[in-house]
């Protein structure tokens, strides 16, 4: 594994360059989900196993420690770009490796107090599933960190309450276009549709793409037709992520894939987002993954009506 450290530029300038390099060129405002800053307490791992952090090719992952670092060493597959400054460590995987590959990160603290080192596991995931920011606490967590985690939990609970209310309300509504109108999901302009003909397929996609249709009313719906090659293992989508040209993520509300794709079988998968405000000028990248994030399907250059 090859590591490189650059120090002449100020840290904020370096971080800006890394984030620009990892994002597509065309940026635009979209309704997006703010990235969560997940906290990790070092030394509190179960059964002595190191904490795990998901990283993605050409995605900058910022690790924020509560103690300045003196050294950071990586062992395992892949090559990383690395910038270290005080309590911050920025990692960018630079070459493709197999999904779920693991690298070991060992950091040494500058104050000499015990423990002098900490070990973390970096798990290679698809770029859409990579963590952008992670807080790591060697000592007891601060009140500000606990308050942030409480706010994240409260937001998640509010989302669950809203989804529960929506499901209860839908039981009293009619189906079909009448249901779309009475629920408020369809306005006077109806449902706009677009056939996507210029989809970019990732070289490591294990399923063949048949077509992609996109629809928009209040939310966005993607209809993706895939075929599992003969002799391949069954595949069933369990999650999805939709990322725009500014690396902001549209919140996926639900993925509909009622049965696994058997070998030599073709099936459509439906992905719907939360309601989106304003224009959506693409292109977007859709990532579908099976259980545990394995065998991801990455489709780029998706446009919406």
The percentage of the chain sitting over the pLDDT mark of 90, rounded to a whole number, equals 41
Say yes or no to pLDDT of 67 above 60: yes
How many other C-beta atoms can be found within 10 angstroms of the C-beta atom of residue 230? 8
Higher pLDDT, 28 or 2: 2
Which residue in 235, 258, 253, 250 sits closest to 283, CA to CA?
250
| Amino acid 276: pLDDT | 87
Q: Average pLDDT of the chain?
A: 81
Comparing 200-204, 222-226, 255-259, 293-297, the range with the smallest average pLDDT is: 293-297
Rounded distance, CA 189 to CA 212, Å? Answer: 22
| Amino acid 44: pLDDT | 54
Q: H or E element: which one contains 106?
A: strand 102-109
In the 3-class helix/strand/coil scheme, how is the chain assigned residue by residue?
CCCCCCCCCCHHHHHHHHHHHHCCCCCCCCCCECCCEEEEECCCCHHHCCEEEEEECCCCEEEEECCCEEEEEEECCCCEEEEEECCEEEEEECCCCCCCCEEEEEEEECCCCCCCEEEEEEEEECHHHCCCEEEEECCCCCHHHHHHHHHHHHHHHHHHHHHHHHHHHHCCCCCHHHHHHHHCCCCCCCCEEEEECCCEECCCCCCEEEEEEEEECCCEEEEEEEECCCCCCCECCCEEEEECCCCCEECEEEEECCCCECCCCEEEEEEEECCCCCCCCCCEEEEEECHHHCCCEEEEEECCC
Higher pLDDT, 178 or 86: 86
Comparing 3-12, 142-151, 213-222, the range with the smallest average pLDDT is: 3-12
Q: What is the pTM of this model?
A: 0.59
**Total number of residues shown for the chain:** 305
Please write the tens of the pLDDT for every residue from 112-161: 877 888 999 999 888 888 999 999 988 766 777 788 888 888 988 998 88
């Amino acid at each position: 594994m090859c590591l490189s450290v650059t120090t002449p530029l100020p840290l904020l300038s370096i971080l800006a360059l890394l984030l620009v390099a990892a994002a597509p060129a065309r940026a635009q405002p979209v309704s997006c989900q703010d990235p969560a800053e997940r906290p990790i307490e070092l030394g509190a791992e179960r059964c002595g196993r190191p904490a795990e952090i998901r990283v993605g090719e050409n995605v900058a992952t910022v690790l924020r420690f509560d103690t300045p670092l003196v050294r950071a060493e990586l062992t395992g597959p892949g090559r990383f770009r690395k910038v270290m400054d005080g309590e911050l460590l920025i990692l960018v995987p630079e070459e493709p490796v197999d999904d779920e590959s693991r690298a070991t990160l060992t950091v040494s603290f500058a104050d000499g107090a015990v423990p002098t080192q900490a070990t973390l596991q970096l798990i290679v995931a698809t770029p859409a599933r990579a963590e952008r920011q992670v807080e790591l606490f060697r000592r007891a967590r601060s009140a500000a960190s606990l308050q942030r985690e409480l706010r994240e939990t409260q937001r998640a609970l509010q989302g669950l309450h809203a989804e529960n209310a929506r499901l209860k309300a839908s039981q009293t509504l009619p189906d079909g276009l009448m249901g779309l109108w009475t629920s408020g999901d369809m306005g006077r302009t109806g449902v706009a549709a677009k056939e996507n003909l210029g989809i970019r397929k990732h070289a490591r996609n294990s399923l063949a793409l048949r077509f992609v249709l996109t629809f928009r009313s209040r939310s966005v719906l993607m209809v993706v037709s895939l075929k599992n090659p003969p002799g391949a293992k069954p595949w069933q989508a369990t999650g999805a992520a939709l990322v725009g040209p500014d690396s902001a993520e549209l919140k996926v509300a639900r993925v509909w894939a009622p049965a696994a794709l058997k070998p030599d079988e073709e099936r459509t998968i439906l992905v719907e987002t939360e309601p989106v405000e304003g224009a959506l000028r693409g292109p977007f990248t859709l990532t579908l993954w099976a259980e545990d994030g394995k065998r991801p399907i990455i489709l780029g250059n998706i446009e919406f009506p």
